[in-house]
Amino acid sequence: MKIGPVRVAHAVALASMEEHTNYCFRRLMKQFGASLVRSERVDAVDVARRDRRALRLLHTAPDESPRAGQISGAEPAVMAEAARVVEQLGFDIVDLNFECPIRRLLGRGEGGALMADPPAIGRIVAAVVRAVSVPVSIKIRTGPDGEHVTAVDIARAAEQEGAAAVELHARSVAQAYAGGPEWTTVARLKQAVSVPVIGSGGIREASDAARFLRQTGADGVAIGRGCLGNPWIFRQARAIIAGGAAVRPPTAAERGRALLQLVEGEFHLYGPPLALRRLPRTSCYFAKFLPGFAEFRTNVRHVGSLQQFRRLVREHFRTS
Ligand SMILES: Cc1cc2nc3c(=O)[nH]c(=O)nc-3n(C[C@H](O)[C@H](O)[C@H](O)COP(=O)(O)O)c2cc1C
């Protein structure tokens, strides 16, 4: 698949997830076989004024290419300025979020609120495409709710204004993250536009990704919650799609090593106080696959340093 001039090696991509898909997470997923990776959504207003926290959320490096940086907002000029910053930071693609169901954003007429307003999305895309030289993609839902399916109209409007790819999360904004997903809308969208279509929603196991591509005809599939604590899903999905031999599941020690790599990266990126606050949630996604999870969950809350965490990982994951 090619997004503008950007070559994406294969169909299995990482979905954008707030609080998760930072640089360390994306690099790990890439190492385990994700093709295109995306940052989490960051407010365009903050990016445009180069707010420190916003820029930290958009930390990137060439070793995770190709990668997209994602922004949300409703004001074309602000989105255009934020897109310039995303390009300057080194992202290969600027991704525009018109899908977020968070009430705070909907109240401001941003994110998923724009799914009810295809012309407004067209205006934003046009302004951003003019502002940057990298390709621009959009991330949308099926529509504001089950009764109003706007995805096809929006994708067509965005394509006309120069968008180079569309990712469709196959749920409505009203559904947030539960119920569905509606893969048939992805199939319809694929028929309606000529730019690459990536879909997401409901990929829990590697075999779901292969089934999704077969049923929808989409160019790519993005894995969201299915990869939390389980980066191996990318390799497994690629093997199934290629019709090759099944990839063996990871050993406990391999799980521990992957987790430690992620956490060490976060200590480096964020510094100890923030990395420690994030630790219980990040590590429980990995630890839940092994026996003794309840004890791990209790113990990880008392970890006060990277050294203590390494010890806990050695015990729980039996790494040497
Ligand atoms: C915790 C969480 C945070 C998310 N944050 C974002 C985000 O910042 N930007 C975005 O485009 N999509 C976001 N999504 C949606 C995912 O990219 C993806 O479309 C969706 O999770 C796919 O559904 P699945 O998790 O059922 O596979 C988020 C999803 C979850 C679960």
For ligand 1, say whether the CB of 70 is within 6 Å of any of its atoms: yes
pLDDT < 70 regions, the chain:
320
Q: Which pLDDT value is given to residue 38? A: 98
For ligand 1, say whether the CB of 203 is within 6 Å of any of its atoms: yes
Asked if 190 and 197 count as a contact pair (C-beta separation under 8 A), the reply is yes
Q: Which pLDDT value is given to residue 107? A: 97
Return the ligand 1 atom nearest residue 200 CA: 22
CATH homologous superfamily of 2-241 equals Aldolase class I (3.20.20.70)
Question: What's the chain's Rg over C-alpha atoms?
Answer: 19
The pTM score is 0.97
- 17 CA to middle of ligand 1, Å? 5
Q: Which residue has the tokens 């995770």?
A: 64
Q: Which pLDDT value is given to residue 318? A: 83
Residues annotated as catalytic (active site), given as ranges: 100
- Kind plus residue range of the DSSP H or E element containing 98: none
Q: Which pLDDT value is given to residue 320? A: 58
For ligand 1, say whether the CB of 97 is within 6 Å of any of its atoms: yes
Q: Which pLDDT value is given to residue 247? A: 85
